[in-house]
Amino acid sequence: MNELQLPPAPPLPDEVRERALRTVLAGTRAPRRRFAPLVAAVVVVMATLAAVTTAVAMTGPGADELDPRLAASGPPAPTGDPAIDEALGRCAAAVATSGSRDEYPPTAGWRVTDVLSHAGEGQFSDTDLVIDGSFACHAGPYHVWVSTVGGRPAGGIEVARLGPGSLVLFNPQRLLVEVDPGDGYVRTSTTAVQIVSLTPAHEDWPVRRLIVRGSYDGPLPDPGEAAVEVQDRPILNGQAQPTNVEACLDDQLGTWALGSDEPQETVLTQDAQGDLPRALVGRVNGRWAAVCYDGPEGPVAVEGPLDPARLSETRLVSSRRRDDLVVALLTVAPDGERVEIATTPEPGAVGSGAACTLRDGLALCMLRAEGAVDVRIFSGGVGTTMPVP
């Protein structure tokens, strides 16, 4: 008999002992606000062990020396695809070195449940992964963004941020979801996980509508920021990346060309000029237009819909402000002679500006500026001003 007046019991299996030990050690690293429940949990575990065995020998490093997610975990298992394995490893490393690592499952058990996109190779690869069906990771040329596990509820789905300009929708019940991110084109899907790109021309969340059949119809919830953002590769400043810009444009237009009678076409190429980057503009006529340019972190896309009924009108397709660079993409009426972009002048002053590149009904405007910016379209010697959002 032992001190608890219980008969001796056979030793616990090694697997059970290790699991209990990891539970206790992992708990000692929990935030202070969880201290009281943690003590109770440790007492219960230790009392249970004492009742069924006379002793448990605990050897190895102390809690202060052990990071349970690195010591008891490790890199994710290979998928068999080297490119996907590289992206998955970058995602795991980003989480393991972040202050949010306690919010994710151990990396050794991560499983890729879906590859939402993969473009480019090597240094310039761009990959979106769904991991364990519960969170997503975007591994770009220089940065990694990881969404929260789950997101903000909207009826039967959850919405989370996945890097600049994109959201991820978690829809485990595969409900019919309709999303209007503000560009006039509604995305309809029943997929378990969906990434939605946001049109930068619309900044207010209420203009973005979300319908989850039977459970939600209203504004798209503001998901806040991505949980993890890490720059894990050096930025190659000043190094040309022409193939990656072409791949970016192909990625933006390829989906719209599928099932369309209109071909995907590159409309204009603008070489780097001064502090303005190289850029390509393309379209699927009557459906979609996009510009891709060399950003400091890799290619940046600005895209938007082409209304078939308004192709001959002068209108803003889309715009973006990033790293003090203003980019605007417009359709221009046939009588448009030239287009300029300039800072909005103060009363009695003249704004600084530059000429836009105009070709075949599309205009690309780029300007380094802060504050208000306008584009000016000239026809018959008369200029019309249009603000850039």
- As a whole number of angstroms, the distance between CA 3 and CA 105 comes to 39
Domain containing 314: what range? 242-388
On whether both 196 and 126 belong to a single domain, the answer is: yes
What does each C-alpha distance from 317 to 124, 181, 314, 357, 362 come to in angstroms?
27, 14, 9, 15, 9
On whether both 175 and 88 belong to a single domain, the answer is: yes
Residue 133 falls inside a structural domain: yes
On whether both 272 and 187 belong to a single domain, the answer is: no
Residue 74 falls inside a structural domain: no
On whether both 92 and 209 belong to a single domain, the answer is: yes
Residue 71 falls inside a structural domain: no
Q: Are 117 and 126 in contact (CB under 8 A)?
A: yes
pLDDT tens for the chain, 389 residues long, are 444 454 554 554 444 444 444 443 333 333 333 333 333 333 333 333 333 333 232 333 332 333 344 434 688 999 999 889 999 999 999 999 888 889 999 999 999 999 887 665 556 667 889 999 999 999 887 889 999 999 999 999 999 988 776 788 999 999 999 987 665 667 788 989 988 776 544 444 545 788 999 899 998 887 877 789 888 877 655 444 434 788 888 878 876 776 567 788 899 998 888 889 999 999 988 788 999 998 877 788 898 888 777 878 899 999 988 878 999 999 999 999 999 999 877 655 555 788 999 999 999 999 998 888 999 999 888 888 988 87
On whether both 62 and 151 belong to a single domain, the answer is: no
On whether both 51 and 89 belong to a single domain, the answer is: no
Q: Which of 207, 230, 253 is the last residue of a domain?
A: 230
- As a whole number of angstroms, the distance between CA 135 and CA 129 comes to 9
Residue-level length of the chain: 389
On whether both 23 and 45 belong to a single domain, the answer is: yes
Report residue 253 as tokens: 């237009």
Residue 297 falls inside a structural domain: yes
On whether both 223 and 246 belong to a single domain, the answer is: no
On whether both 223 and 259 belong to a single domain, the answer is: no
Instruction: Reduce the secondary structure of 176-238 to three states and give it as a string.
Output: CEEEECCCCCCEEECCCEEEEECCCCCCCHHHCEEEECCCEEEECCCCCCCCEEEECCCCCCC
What local confidence, expressed as pLDDT, does residue 349 receive?
Answer: 53
- As a whole number of angstroms, the distance between CA 281 and CA 265 comes to 9
- As a whole number of angstroms, the distance between CA 353 and CA 116 comes to 40
Residue 18 falls inside a structural domain: yes
- As a whole number of angstroms, the distance between CA 122 and CA 298 comes to 13
On whether both 261 and 309 belong to a single domain, the answer is: yes
On whether both 218 and 86 belong to a single domain, the answer is: yes
- As a whole number of angstroms, the distance between CA 208 and CA 182 comes to 5
Residue 3 falls inside a structural domain: no
On whether both 133 and 161 belong to a single domain, the answer is: yes
Q: Are 290 and 301 in contact (CB under 8 A)?
A: yes
- As a whole number of angstroms, the distance between CA 287 and CA 95 comes to 38
Pairing outcome for strands 177-180 and 209-212: antiparallel
Q: Enumerate residues 6+ apart whose C-beta is below 8 A from 67.
A: 29
List Cβ<8 Å contacts ≥24 apart for 56-62: 56/12, 56/17, 56/20, 56/21, 58/21
Q: Are 264 and 306 in contact (CB under 8 A)?
A: no
CATH number for 355: 2.60.40
Beta bridge partner(s), residue 180: 209
DSSP state for residue 75 in the 8-state scheme: S
- As a whole number of angstroms, the distance between CA 111 and CA 338 comes to 53
Number of structural domains, the chain?
3
Residue 73 falls inside a structural domain: no
Residue 196 falls inside a structural domain: yes
- As a whole number of angstroms, the distance between CA 120 and CA 142 comes to 13
Q: Are 147 and 137 in contact (CB under 8 A)?
A: yes
